[in-house]
A and B are shown apart, each in its own frame.
Chain A
Amino acid sequence: MKKNVFVIALFLMFWQQLSLADLTIEISSSSDNALPLAIIPFDYAVGTKQPKTDVAKVIAADLFSSGKFKVLPNVRLPSLPSSLGDVDFTEWRDLDVDNMLLGEISMSKKGLYNIKLTFIDLLRKKEVISKRWENIYENNLRQVAHKMSDQIYQEITGVRGSFNTKIAYVTVKKVSGKKKYSLDIADSDGFNSQPLLRSNKPIMSPSWSPDGKNMAYVSFERGRSEIIVQSLNGKMRKVVASYEGINGSPSWSPDSKKISVTLSKSGSADVYILTLATKKLRRLTYNFAIETESVWAPDGNSLFFNSDRRGKPQIFQVQLGTGAIKRITFEGAYNSNPAISPDGNFLAMVNSSGHFNIGLLDLETSEFNIITNTYLDESPSFSPNGEMILYAMNDKGKAKLAIVAIGNSMTKILSTESGEVRAPSWGPFID
């Protein structure tokens, strides 16, 4: 039965009732080689209204979740210096603490917040980061905290932090026995969640455009899979692929002008490139087997995808210039759902030899490691700095997200109390 009737009407959102379902966070394991860090409780100037956001706590949680820092508990702080001049360097050396964060929060003339944050290298006895933010709304204090976390992370590790970024994911809730799907975005720590789309039908495979403006995803709102591109502000929404058969697994080109997709309009599932401006399709694979879940190499010259052309799914790479196809994964009976690191050096994927976990392949050395130990892991997505992987998993029958720091065992679990959460995609850097 075909019905091509769209009823488009304005809709009034009752935001307070429907939103604000932040993800719940738990840290499942911690790392041994973490760098000790002192975060001194911030100074609040006289007359400052206590904000709901504890900026120091947000920074501490960010840095701790990277697995590279451990923050001294407040009870173990030997003193509470308020500036570099107050610091007794020997007492901190005795505690093996090399770095310290100080903060001052005051009200601006406009009744908003002024924040001054100072990061001190206790060995060099100097301020290495000193930042001021002025006239900040209370709602934006978390963002200030994430920006400071990014700076500290970069100062210590040499790599840009990706705390001040967003993630997208799909939540599934049962309302009077019926499943309700929502495509949401949130801060990288699961706070400030906002819906982009709600549907009575499944939403799959959200993919964030590298320019941060649009989301591509699969929606079953008309009973079968279609690929939709939607702007984050909700003003633009287009069905970009609605061919007979599968319309799945959208992935953006690095220049945000094309998406690779899976279509089965010519028989079996194959990978195509869709140029969004011209709607022109280029077919990349011609095999009778399943070819799907393509992702672009960061240089835009090749794509990785999975194919069961050898019987079980494995990852292959296709060169756009020549069309040449090469097998990439050999470890395990099942490798699917590739994700490529931002520097193009590592490939993450769903790997199984019985269990389903996230595997990480060094494309230069071919070293392969399983980096997760949760259950039924899928949908890996790199943080924009390549240091962490966000993925979906199953915890006692409930779908949750997890973030694992590459190179240490730190894993953070993100879940929603009222339902399930899956299909994560980590957004780009916000400049």
Chain B
Amino acid sequence: MNICLKKSALFLVIFSALFLGACSDNPKKKSNKSLFESGYGEGDGSQVEVIGAGGQGNIDGYNVGLNEDGSIGIDPSELGADLEPIIYFEFDSYIINDKGLSIIKHYAEILEENEDEAIVLLGHTDERGSPGYNLALGEKRAKAAKESFMLYGIEDKRIEVITLGESQPMIEGSNEMAWSQNRRVEIKIK
């Protein structure tokens, strides 16, 4: 039994590697024209282990290997801090300020010039308040950003909205400096 399980695990590792290899060779991507760092939808593969409770010793779970990565990998130094593709918000607010609008305008212009590119807007909140409410607030922020992109002429279908709520802070810490950085919408190339 153990040998059988080990073989299956090995199969998973190899299969994941092959699949990831194929993925990184995506011919549709034209990221060289973009100023965005492409950080969404690629990567090391997400996976979960499902485990049964109530047992002792080794438990046979199964492994669901997946292949999407929501990791956040922006390097603002490449972009110039003023134009980093992040829009910041006040606490419990989804109103986009003038700075946010100018950032959206800048990236909307890039999207106009790169008609094949699509974006995903990742909505985040700070850690305060309840996680379920923050999940909804993150979506409101991302949708507010999407509406602004649409006002600048970007088509609905080129903009995906994903909320991550309070689950993925940019900066760890329980203080206003960290919170102000974490209340954000990130603009990512798809």
Contact = CB atoms under 8 A, between A and B. Distances in A.
B62 A9 contact: yes
A10 interface: yes
A399 B78 CA distance: 33
B50 A334 contact: no
Contacts of A293: 130, 132-133
Contact of B5 (A6, A10, A220, A312): A10
B9 A12 contact: yes
Contact of A223 (B9, B26, B41, B57): B41
A213 B64 CA distance: 22
Contact of A220 (B51, B65, B67, B167): B167
A197 B41 contact: no
Interface string B75-95: 000000000000000001000
Contacts of B16: 7
B102 interface: no
A405 interface: no
Interface in B18-54: 19, 23, 26, 40-42, 46-54
B70 interface: yes
Contacts of B47: 199-200, 221
A267 B26 CA distance: 32
Contact of A194 (B8, B41, B53, B60): B53
A28 interface: no
B51 A234 contact: yes
Contacts of A198: 48-49, 51
Nearest to B167: A202
A290 interface: yes
Nearest to B42: A1
B68 A11 contact: no
Contact of A7 (B15, B50, B51, B57): B15
B46 A223 contact: yes
B135 to A, nearest CB: 5
B46 A201 contact: yes
Looking at A202, A268, A423, which has the most chain B CB atoms within 10 Å of its CB? Answer: A202
A269 interface: yes
B136 A262 contact: yes
Nearest to B54: A233
A41 interface: no
Contacts of B177: none
Contacts of A378: 129-131
A222 B129 contact: no
Interface in B108-153: 127-133, 135-137, 139-140
Interface string A217-236: 01111111100001111110
Given A11-B49, A379-B130, A423-B131, A290 B137 contact: yes
B92 A312 contact: yes
Contact of B132 (A205, A223, A230): A205
B144 to A, nearest CB: 12
A11 B5 contact: yes
B130 A350 contact: yes
A195 interface: yes
Given A7-B12, A12-B5, A269 B136 contact: yes
A262 B167 contact: no
A394 B174 CA distance: 8
Interface stretch (A96-104, A155-163, A244-252): A244-252
B163 interface: yes
A196 B16 CA distance: 23
Given A198-B48, A248-B136, A336-B129, A397 B66 contact: no
A232 B52 contact: yes
A10 B4 contact: yes
Nearest to A269: B136
B135 A221 contact: no
A202 B162 CA distance: 14
Contacts of B136: 246, 248, 262, 264, 268-269, 290, 292
A1 B41 contact: yes
Given A7-B65, A15-B57, A139-B56, A237 B50 contact: yes
B156 interface: no
B38 to A, nearest CB: 10
A335 to B, nearest CB: 9
B164 to A, nearest CB: 7
Given A7-B65, A11-B63, A376-B127, A223 B133 contact: no
18 contacts: A1-B40, A7-B19, A8-B65, A9-B65, A11-B61, A204-B132, A222-B66, A233-B52, A234-B61, A246-B135, A246-B136, A269-B135, A292-B132, A293-B132, A312-B92, A350-B130, A352-B129, A397-B173
Given A15-B57, A248-B135, 9 more contacts: A7-B66, A11-B5, A11-B60, A185-B53, A204-B132, A205-B131, A223-B46, A293-B130, A306-B133
Interface of A: 1, 3, 5-15, 139, 185, 194-202, 204-205, 218-225, 230-235, 237, 245-246, 248-249, 262, 264, 268-269, 290, 292-293, 306, 308, 312-313, 334, 336-337, 350, 352, 356, 375-376, 378-379, 394, 396-397, 422-423
Interface of B: 2, 4-6, 8-9, 11-12, 15-16, 19, 23, 26, 40-42, 46-54, 56-70, 92, 127-133, 135-137, 139-140, 161-165, 167-168, 172-174, 190
